[in-house]
A and B are shown apart, each in its own frame.
Chain A
Amino acid sequence: MPAKNYSSTRFSGLNEINSGNAQNLKLAWTFSTGVLRGHEAAPIVVNNTMYIVTPYPNIVYALDLTQPGAPLKWKFEPNPASASQGVACCDFVNRGLVYYDNRIYFNTLDDQTIALDAATGSEVWRTKVGEINLGESITMAPLVVNGKVLVGNSGGEFGVRGWLTALDAGSGKVVWKAYHTGPDADVLIGPNFKPFYPQDQGKDLGVASWPADAWKIGGGTMWGWISYDPEQNLIFYGTANPGPWNPDQRPGDNKWTCGIFARNPDTGEARWFYQFTPHDLHDYDSINEQILLDLPINGQTRKVLVRPERNGYVYVIDRTTGQVLSANAFGYITATKGVDLNTGKLIENPEMKPEVGKVVRNICPAAPGAKDWQPSAFSPNTGLVYIPHQNLCMDSEGLEANYIAGTPYVGMNVRMYAGPGGNRGEFLAWDPVNGKKVWALPEKFPVWSGALATAGDVVFYGTMDGWFKAVDAHTGNLLWQFKCGSGIIGQPISYKGADGKQYIAILSGIGGWSGAIVAGGLDPRDATAALGFAAAMTDLPNATTKGGMLYVFSLP
């Protein structure tokens, strides 16, 4: 699985490559995916075979690691509907496939979940789980737990209603489906639902916290990461922002958007929920990763999950109860003033509330948050969480005429720019016990790649201008770097090759929301393109070009 393990640590126990020899890393082999869009996926290595899924058209490749140069073993083309490109909000990405019990599971942009025979690449089943005609698409990597393939939808800006569904891994049949808005019966909230805070307790809050029928097109999709705690038999995952309504049109907490669910993976039944950002004002989807750890908190070991959240705080939450133990800012924040640990409530800054026609400046973090989907890593050796993230603020000013489906309308004119320091990105080492930054590496562009930590105390990440970097896990010192052909927004992995050597692999290929200006060929003169993100990235086309390519490194 892309997260390496159910706890989502992205920690490799391999230590052949260490902080003493990483400077000797050399390119071992490469592979071109033939796709030009943003490559966000992690390669997966099982039984000396590497599996890769590309952005739309979602081709799956299997590469034979026992042979020199890793020749192609098989290739599978699902042929998703081309119309699905029109419903993807932010480039046509795919965040990865998963291996489970001799099969490969992945999702297509046009809402299909597909199971392949891992050995041959032949299709075992495919299930259509969403409807592109209603604006649904799928970009997330599935997770398989107890023989259930867990899949969620994207498309909050199209007025879809968010859900997570479980398919039987053997047959592809839907076992359960939990919506993220609406009545308790739809959300799979029953007698065992025990949220920690009073604001999350009550009947049918997924209806009551919305005006009239607004929940029916209320957003709260799920396009990010799921973790699993086998001991409790609970999955944990977050929900995206409320949409397509503006905040003024949806007074209330808008449950169950922008929060985290704990659910039983077999039945879907909800155990607890916590809302990071009630009544979201700034597009702070809560779909980020959660790392399951047992940490010493105030003298006792607590079963926690650690979540660097889009709103700029690292939350440490008791994963048995949903209680917030700490929430400390890891990014620059003006939009809110902290989290009240007694009530669990986020403290809004009313001055930063955007309103139509009102100019609000210096809203930090900007809409992509202090951190978006790009997953962190945790090293048990150092006890640190390695967080790739961005440092962006935004102004909302004036209105702009726009046009869709034959109808003119006005949208707020949002512009993003670098936050304090002028660097748009940062790679950060965070001490989750003390809630403190340990070291940080400023990067020119948002760090939109995932992180990898290894037992050799080397941490890997990539930059949007194409540098793949190895840094010392303790100090952040740069040990080695390699310039890839295209910007990096993928997830690095480490694996042991058939020859017993340790390898590091990364997909390069610029794109995603942040890189859409290159992958989508956006016009830098359209300041509000990519929802204002393009304005902050006008120099990216000079720094990199598109093209999907796998790079694999090893010691000589």
Chain B
Amino acid sequence: MSSLFRRRACWDRRGPRLSNYNQRALGFAACCEEWLCLSVVMPHYFGLRPSTLRKESASFQSERRSRRLFLTPSGKAQPFLTTNGEAGEYCLKDKAGNSRFAIRTLQARTLPVPTLVALTVIAVLSLSCTRSRGSSQTSAIPSQARTALRVCSDPNNLPFSNQEGRGFENKLAEMIASDMGLKVEYTWWAQRRGFFRNTLKAGACDVVMGVPAAFEMALTTSPYYRSTYVFVSRSNRHLAISSLDDPQLRTLRLGVQMVGDDFSNSPPAHALSRRGMIQNVKGYTLYGDYSKPNPPAEIIDAVERNDIDVGIAWGPMAGYFARHARLPLTLTPVTPQIDQPFLPFVFDISMGVRREDVALKEQLDRILEKHRTDIYKLLDDYGVPRLGGPEGSRVNARY
């Protein structure tokens, strides 16, 4: 089964919660080897892949329909938002390796910390049934032995981080470290291919402040914010584009960011080419020119300079640079949030630690939950468009 589904973290409709969904399956009668978390809005778990879908049993289909779980392959708009906050788990494979079509739902709730610890114990006790992969070792560095929060960070990538400590991930690191009674120490490394290998995995530092919640190369905390790709245009154009299917896109000059070959590229790059929009699309490498400040921001400059009419970029970066632009820029979240075939424009962001640093991950989870309000305020200060959260989404249309 794809690694996509291996790490599970669920959400309720109010946004990221430290909830029992983060724990391994509890008390389910069937001895399930591998669970897929179906929990509603979590875009990383969008996929029962098409091949799996074709094989799904009639009983699973009806179960899925009756529970209004996501996955309507022909549906267009945001099927995930119809699930009413219901979280569920779907058994992928039993111990004998057979596919199992069983779903159970979980009640969404936030757990007080002592309960969480108890649940962890239960989860460990039930490992015979639900073997957790590669995350059962103890932390390499016991938290009481820590002298600093050692953060792996890019020295030149606002709004996330820079060497002067001006990024929101820098501020967040200070917040977390202060709660732990530690100071922050950085290992600086351009966040390109090899970043995780040369920093976190090499043991040079212990935490990466932002990674997708479903990131395979690290053990991830509960997500602490969710953001979205956005359309960015100059406000005086009054384009009001919010959908990839807006016919205006076919005639405008569009900009997307390129990641690399081998079918790895930004979601808008894939989505536009699938719609046949190719000739009017300009590519900006996400790596940019590293000799300049904040290389990925080039696409926002291009909107300001009128090189392109609309840029489609990751919200946190776009929101920050739009706020600092000379001209008013308009940002609108991209819809559909999940484009066909299962292409997410919305991502949950967690912190990442080494796979074996379970204790650190759990400590971070607790601190993140404790400082949720502060974190939202911090993100808002940086113009990060947020989806979800107790006080609702915060996506400013205009900066």
Contact residue among B4, B210, B340 (Cβ-Cβ distance under 8 Å from A399): B4
B266: chain A residues within 8 A (beta carbon): 407, 409
Residue B376 CB within 8 A of the other chain: no
A116 to B357, CA, bound (A): 48
* Interface hits, B275-321 → A, CB 8 Å: 278-283, 285-292, 295-296, 313-314, 316-317
B interface residues, tally (CB under 8 Å): 76
Bound form: Cα–Cα A405–B293 in Å: 13
List of B residues within 8 angstroms of A249 by Cβ: 265, 269, 272-273, 278, 281, 283
Residues of chain B within 8 A (CB-CB) of A357 are 49-50, 340-343
Across-interface contacts of B50 in A (CB, < 8 A): 357-359
- When distances are taken between beta carbons in the complex, the residues of chain A under 8 Å from B160 are 406
Give Cα distance in the complex from A135 to B264, angstroms. Answer: 16
In the bound assembly, the distance between CA atoms of A367 and B343 in angstroms comes to 23
Q: In the complex the two chains form, what is the Cα distance from A345 to B214 in whole Å? A: 42
User: Of A89, A407, A411, which one neighbours B263 at CB under 8 angstroms?
Assistant: A411
Interface residues on A, range: 35 or more
B308-348: which residues lie under 8 A (CB-CB) from chain A? 313-314, 316-317, 340-344, 347
Q: Which residues in A have their C-beta under 8 angstroms from that of B280?
A: 212
| B94 on the A face (CB < 8 A) | no
Contact B267–A405 (Cβ < 8 Å):
no
Q: Closest residue of chain B to A354, judged by CB?
A: B263
- Determine whether the beta carbon of B4 is less than 8 Å from that of A401: yes
- Which of A156-164, A289-297, A542-550 is found at the contact surface with chain B? A156-164
The yes or no answer to B190 lying at the interface (CB within 8 A) is yes
**B391 at interface (Cβ–Cβ under 8 A)?**
no
Alpha-carbon distance A527/B260, docked complex (angstroms): 19
- Neighbouring B residues of A88 by C-beta, 8 Å: 194
Least CB distance, B128 to chain A, in whole angstroms? 21
Cβ of B212 within 8 Å of any chain A Cβ, yes or no, is: yes
Q: Which of these, B133, B189, B340, B355, contacts A86 with CB under 8 Å? A: B189
Q: Which residue of B lies closest to A88 (CB)?
A: B194
Pick from B105-113, B196-204, B244-252, B359-367 the stretch touching chain A.
B196-204
B342 nearest in chain A by CB position: A357
CB distance from A453 to the nearest CB of B (A): 34
Residue B64, interface by CB 8 Å: no
Q: Which residue of B lies closest to A160 (CB)?
A: B285
B261 touches A246 (CB 8 A): yes
A358 contacts across to B, CB distance below 8 A: 50, 341
A245 at the interface (CB under 8 A from B): yes
| CB-based contact B262/A367 at 8 Å | yes
**Contact: B273 with A248, CB < 8 Å?**
yes
Beta-carbon contact of B2 and A413 below 8 Å:
yes
Q: A249-B269, A356-B343 are in contact. Are A408 and B2 (CB under 8 A)?
A: no
A residues lining the B interface (CB < 8 Å): 83, 85-89, 131-135, 156-159, 211-214, 217, 219, 241-246, 248-251, 283, 354, 356-359, 367, 396-414, 520-523, 525-529, 531
6 tightest A-B CB contacts, nearest first: A357-B341, A411-B264, A412-B263, A159-B285, A243-B261, A157-B260
